[in-house]
A and B are shown apart, each in its own frame.
Chain A
């Protein structure tokens, strides 16, 4: 079955440490997205990519970095510059055409906490 796989499910970060969250999809979708979810704040866009080797910043990109070397993969690195990384991170993808007229399919998320 096609879908989006995020790993790990739970992740702990030490002070000054960079951590990378994995997101893989086998839906053959062109567009991929990373969202951060905090209690009571809905989903906020961190980065998105509509094509391999290209990506754009979302509303809260500071302290995060991404890469899109393969169509199937869109890893997110939470750098030490992100001072408040504790949140639920969701990866999503959508077919060509972007977010406007295509549904987004979400992974099961990674819950990141500070040690």
Chain B
């Protein structure tokens, strides 16, 4: 039930935009997004609970397409502080009451 994230890695220059995708084979109740800096704990960014819902956190936003079982994370005008590994966590509509995390997308922002 592990979701698939793409791309696996991306390098951006400051000010550029990026999109990270998360796709599941199961019907989803919610999608969570986290960012982890190297050697540190993952930090919660946002949860999307309804199909079509979009949320924002600073210049980072996300959408959730319930029908396609997909979510996308949008990073706009990237800053150096955005560097890290981004994980999506998916909660299935039925079954276990826990999250399944993707393998992550490593984002590097360079000056």
Hey, which bits of chain A sit against chain B, CB under 8 A?
Answer: 33, 35, 40-45, 48, 50, 58, 90, 98-109
Q: Which of B32, B41, B101, B102 has the most CB of A within 10 A?
A: B41
Q: Measured between alpha carbons, how far is A91 from B57 in the docked complex, in Å?
A: 24
With both beta carbons as reference points, the residue of chain B lying nearest to A107 in the complex is identified as: B41
With both beta carbons as reference points, the residue of chain A lying nearest to B49 in the complex is identified as: A101
What are some 25 contacts across the A-B interface (CB < 8 A)?
A: A40-B103, A41-B103, A42-B2, A42-B102, A42-B103, A42-B104, A43-B42, A43-B87, A90-B41, A90-B42, A98-B98, A99-B97, A99-B98, A100-B29, A100-B30, A100-B91, A100-B97, A101-B29, A101-B30, A101-B49, A103-B32, A106-B43, A107-B41, A109-B39, A109-B40
> Which of A45, A103, A106 is close to B98, meaning CB atoms less than 8 Å apart?
A45
Which chain B residues border A48 with CB–CB below 8 Å? 98
Which chain B residues border A41 with CB–CB below 8 Å? 103
Which chain A residues border B91 with CB–CB below 8 Å? 99-101
Q: Measured between alpha carbons, how far is A44 from B98 in the docked complex, in Å?
A: 11
| Interface positions of B from 77 to 111, Cβ below 8 Å from A | 87, 89, 91, 97-104
Q: Measured between alpha carbons, how far is A95 from B29 in the docked complex, in Å?
A: 17
Which chain A residues border B47 with CB–CB below 8 Å? 101-103
With both beta carbons as reference points, the residue of chain A lying nearest to B5 in the complex is identified as: A42
Contact B103 A103 (CB under 8 A): no
| Interchain nearest-CB distance for A94 vs B (Å) | 9
Q: Provided the pairs A42-B101, A48-B98 are in contact, do residues A103 and B41 lie with their beta carbons within 8 angstroms? A: no
Q: Measured between alpha carbons, how far is A34 from B49 in the docked complex, in Å?
A: 23
Which chain B residues border A109 with CB–CB below 8 Å? 39-41
Q: Which of A45, A58, A100 has the most CB of B within 10 A?
A: A100
| Interchain nearest-CB distance for B70 vs A (Å) | 17
Q: Measured between alpha carbons, how far is A98 from B99 in the docked complex, in Å?
A: 9
Q: Measured between alpha carbons, how far is A100 from B31 in the docked complex, in Å?
A: 8
- A-B interface, 7 closest residue pairs, ranked by CB to CB distance from nearest: A106-B41, A103-B44, A100-B91, A98-B97, A42-B103, A43-B101, A42-B101
Which chain B residues border A40 with CB–CB below 8 Å? 103
